[in-house]
């Protein structure tokens, strides 16, 4: 298998798929695409990825983009650690969490980009709109986790990583986050598969 990721290793979506493959214990190679140089529009890549986006996975001649689609494909194709809950209701909820984190909370994503997580970048104070989004994020996370849960749905799933990435945009910048959510995020960040991505050498920003 071959996984295309961004050359700075800052894409949360590429990270999510990378962790899926590591959690399954699957062998794969990584190839980087320099998005700032628009390498994703080069013919060499566009013939592989019809959406011209990373991550893109190549497996036995089959190519697939969009991280949640790739994660589901990996979980349905290979044995090993489950990436989604077995219960259909919980599995649907995990997919809901992923879809929400990818489509909402734009002010947080814009004002706390992943360069904050992986390069320690510092940005201005959050705007009023971003603070309102953090309150929505905290409320949803606390409702999903309940009281002191290690994971969203009993056992770890890939939605736990996606939620931790969103929370770490704030935590690693020094923005206030409720201690139970900070502790939950730290636990997610210590998983070996997650550490492999976090500790990957990166080019200078």
Three-state SS at 129: helix
Three-state SS at 102: helix
32: part of which helix (H) or strand (E)? strand 29-33
CATH 1.10.3720.10 holds for 88-192: no
Specify the pTM: 0.96
d(CA 169, CA 163): 10
Phi, psi of 2 (to 5 degrees): -130, 130
CATH 3.40.30.10 holds for 2-82: yes
88-192 has the same fold as 2-82: no
Predicted confidence at residue 142, as pLDDT, reads: 96
Strand order across the 2-6 sheet: 29-33, 2-6, 56-59, 62-65
pLDDT tens profile 27-66: 999 999 999 999 999 998 999 999 999 999 999 999 999 9
Predicted confidence at residue 149, as pLDDT, reads: 86
Q: pLDDT digit of tens for each residue in the chain (205 aa)?
A: 999 999 999 999 999 999 999 999 999 999 999 999 999 999 989 999 999 999 999 999 999 999 999 999 999 999 999 999 999 999 999 999 999 999 999 999 999 999 999 999 999 999 999 999 999 999 999 999 987 789 999 999 999 999 999 999 999 999 999 999 999 999 999 999 999 999 999 998 7
pLDDT tens profile 135-146: 999 999 999 998
Nearest to 198 by CA among 170, 173, 161: 161
Q: Would you kindly state where each structural domain of the chain is located, as residue ranges?
A: 2-82, 88-192
Predicted confidence at residue 177, as pLDDT, reads: 98
């Amino acid at each position: 298998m071959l996984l295309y990721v961004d050359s700075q290793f800052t894409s949360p979506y590429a990270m999510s798929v990378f962790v899926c493959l590591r959690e399954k214990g699957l062998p794969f190679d990584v190839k980087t695409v320099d998005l700032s140089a628009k390498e994703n529009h080069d013919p060499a890549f566009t013939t592989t990825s019809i959406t011209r986006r990373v991550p893109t996975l190549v497996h036995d001649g089959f190519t697939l983009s969009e991280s949640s689609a790739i994660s589901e494909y990996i979980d349905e194709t290979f044995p090993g650690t489950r990436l989604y809950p077995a219960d259909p209701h919980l599995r649907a909820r995990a997919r809901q969490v992923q879809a929400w984190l990818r489509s909402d909370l734009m002010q947080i994503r814009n004002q706390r980009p992943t360069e904050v997580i992986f390069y320690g970048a510092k940005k201005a104070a959050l705007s009023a709109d971003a603070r309102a989004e953090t309150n929505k994020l905290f409320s949803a996370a606390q409702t999903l986790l309940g009281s002191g849960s290690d994971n969203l749905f009993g056992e770890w799933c890939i939605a736990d990583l996606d939620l931790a990435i969103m929370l770490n945009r704030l935590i690693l910048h020094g923005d206030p986050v409720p201690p139970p959510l900070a502790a939950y995020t730290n636990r997610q960040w210590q998983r070996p598969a997650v550490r492999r991505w976090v500790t990957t050498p990166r080019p200078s920003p």
